[in-house]
Structure 1
């Protein structure tokens, strides 16, 4: 993973969208980007644009480090690490728009990279789009509790389980 990969995923993910909010592959350069609820209230102001590139570099470095040895103290299951990547990108909100789709794409990229090919058949995006309040609440609860990822991990795992069940049922 690299900062360039993050930018490339954004570029591919939003290319062709005819909307001035999107600047394919360009990181935000100001602090005007916020996440709002349905009533226009700001519910998340991402960290400052200043330092964004270095924070993304640190994220990439961490993602690229192996944490796969269950006998080592720093073991981290790839699913949990992928969910943490999803959260971190959404929390940083590096783009003016399209952050959620890039976060989900990176999650899938990480799962495939770690040989979890079953994720080809597990569609989480639709379930997340259908439950925006619960998805948003998992972010807000994490942020409100000193970035305790338990809330986000728990929600994402429930979405993945539901998507896997629905995939299995549709295959019958």
Structure 2
């Protein structure tokens, strides 16, 4: 074959190199854009899960709408809670975990419009209720400043591994119950903050969504630690939740799902009950359906509750989450 005539000039070599660099940057930018979308989705799941534990009814789709400035039809208090949480999680990377001032600022943001005494410790007694039963009576209000000062000082000086230190802080914070209201969401927010200072990726892993799924175990671990007088059960519980969240929700463009979960996503349309889903899938064994289909899909954030504050309600229905919809 006749070789077409050309010469390799320095300009050609330079342009080839620069095009290669541009292609590399483009690939990085595309991966970063995908990562940022997943981080946003996980932040939405974090907020929805933490608020749902406190009885908030907003879904992931509704919180997404609030983030996008769209109107949402829901109880005004639920909307205010979500807006506050969105603002707090957007700012929390500026805060120091051992700073009392930052802790009070965070409470003020989370509870604006929901509580008169925002950003200040409680002035009266408070108990943790389970229905009509008091399951924990917090220390007197007069001791709260000293107890919180000691806890924050310990956090700033401890050489415990951050995974352990964050769980210890979370438990001790809930035991002290320093605020009139909002202690649960504050404790979960602050553990995420502590973990993010150790590994920034943990700021974007929605541990709260798994805690919501295992809400009964969360309170059981708190109560068992109080009964024993030390927080080992709670540390173990939280570390399991963190591990499960990392395994199930680690940012990736195409989350790996089992064939069973794929079948569930394929038949789910709108909001459907458990019985409707089992019928469509041709399954009779309720335990197998729960363990192989329902719970894995919930844990990966591919489906969500229609009644997030009542996971065991007989009226509960299920729908695709934003992530589940993206995989269809």
Q: TM-score per shorter chain, which class?
A: 0.7 to 0.9
Distance 1:97 1:77 in 2: 29
Unmatched runs of 5 consecutive residues or more in structure 1: 68-75
Q: Which residue of 1 aligns with 2:107?
A: 10
Question: Using the alignment, how far apart are the partners of 2:163 and 2:175 within structure 1?
Answer: 18
Aligned with residue 132 of structure 1, among 205, 209, 215? 215
Q: Deviations over 1:103-156 (max 9, x none)?
A: 111111111222x1121331112222232211111011001012x211001110
Q: Which one of the candidate residues 229, 234, 241 is aligned to 1:152?
A: 234
Q: Would you say the 8 A contact 1:34–1:44 is kept in 2?
A: yes
Aligned to 2:127: 34
- The structure where helix makes up a greater share of residues is 2
Larger radius of gyration: 2
**Correspondence 1:53-64 to 2 at 5 A:** 53-64=145-156
Is structure 2 residue 248 aligned with structure 1 residue 166? yes
Normalized against structure 1, the TM-score is what? 0.84
2:176 is aligned, of 79, 89, 92, to 92
Contact conserved, 1:2 with 1:57, CA < 8 A, in 2?
Answer: no
Partner Cα separation in structure 1 for residue 168 and residue 144 of structure 2:
17
Match of 2:117 among 12, 15, 23: 23
Please give the alpha-carbon distance, in whole angstroms, between the structure 2 residues aligned to 1:28 and 1:59.
17
Cα contact 2:195–2:203 (8 A) shared by 1? no
Report the equivalent of 1:65. 157
The answer on 1:104 being equivalent to 2:188 is yes
TM-score, reference length from structure 2: 0.45
How many Å separate the matches in 2 of 1:132 and 1:35? 15
RMSD: 1.7
May I ask how many residue pairs the two structures share in their alignment?
157
SS at match of 1:51: helix
> In the TM superposition, what is the alpha-carbon distance from 1:66 to its structure 2 partner?
4.5
Residues 162/131 of structure 1: CA separation in 2 closer, same or farther (3 Å cut): same
SS in structure 2 of the partner of residue 25 of structure 1:
coil
Q: CA deviation at 1:167?
A: 0.9
